[in-house]
Amino acid sequence: MSVLFVLIGASMLVAGGFLIAFLWAVKKGQYDDTYSPSVRILFDDQEKEAQKKEKEQQIEKETTKKNHKS
């Protein structure tokens, strides 16, 4: 039974160590993404063009429905 308490204590120390390491990494900026913003501009236009085409197609469908009803 005493081994169980030792293992729980050891696991708490290891978990605390990982928590401290994680908080240190966040504080030092290890999780800051410096690569994606520089590449995002390359793909931004393609997404906007696709959205624009979808809107145009939707408007075209709506106008054809209105014309057929008239």
- Please give the structure tokens belonging to residue 63: 């106008």
pLDDT > 90? residue 66: no
Sign of dihedral through CA atoms 37, 40, 45, 48? negative
Mean pLDDT over 5-27 rounds to 97
Per-residue model confidence (pLDDT) at position 35 = 81
Q: Please name the residue that has the structure tokens 């290890």.
A: 30
State the chain's mean pLDDT as an integer.
85
Q: Which residue has the higher pLDDT, 57 or 70?
A: 57
- Mean of pLDDT values over 13-42: 89
pLDDT at 70 over 60: no
Domain boundaries, the chain: 1-34, 36-69
What is the identity of the amino acid at 29?
G
